Amino acid sequence: MTKSRRCATCRSRADKLSCSGYPWYSYQDISFCRPQMLWLIDNLAGLRLGIYPPDPEPTGYINNSGGGRPPNVSSHARFETPVQLAAEVDYRLDRTGKDGQLLIAQVLAELDVHPDAEEALRYITGWRRKDMKYTNWVYQVHFRKPRNLTRKI
């Protein structure tokens, strides 16, 4: 059984930018943080087909002879989880328009992320979806002026 890796090390903003993530995530690990979103985009084609990327580290288990539920018995279809993840990522990327398409192209080509694609990546990350439209969110992030809380007498 894999230990849950919920990016607990990247709590502060400085750590989030330097977090490199892991080479593979189980479904339980997914919290839609930056490294996970990049990983999901990189594996999006397979997820759309219902194929979850296999764990690159072998577990050493050949079969489930330890009792409990037999292997491959679940209340859900095997393809259901990957397709749900792909649908969530697609929905978030569709809201970003051409910046999301640029992000997909740069992630698949393993290029450095362009500033517009970086905006899209910041918009699609996070456990919850953003309620605000992408254009409004970008405007708010870039053009919000700090409040002057001191009184003029």
Q: Which two tokens stand for residue 121?
A: 């990546």
Whether the full predicted model's pTM is greater than 0.75, yes or no, is yes
- Mean pLDDT across 4-26: 64
The SS3 call for residue 7 is: coil
Burial of 76 (0-12, 13-18, 19+ CB in 10 A): exposed
Residue 44 has pLDDT above 50, yes or no: yes
SS3 content of the chain, % helix, strand, coil (to 5): 45, 0, 55
Measured CA to CA in angstroms, residue 47 lies from 44, 87, 110, 120, 143 at distances of 5, 9, 19, 20, 36
Every domain of the chain and the residues it spans: 31-53+77-143
Q: What percent of the chain has pLDDT over 70?
A: 72
Neighbour count for residue 143 (Cβ, 10 Å): 7
- Amino acid, res. 44: L
- Mean pLDDT across 53-82: 69
Measured CA to CA in angstroms, residue 143 lies from 9, 14, 126, 133, 135 at distances of 30, 22, 21, 15, 12
> How confident is the model at residue 141, as a pLDDT?
87
For residue range 117-129, what is the model confidence (pLDDT) as tens digits?
Answer: 999 999 999 999 9
Q: What percent of the chain has pLDDT over 90?
A: 53
- Mean pLDDT across 82-109: 96
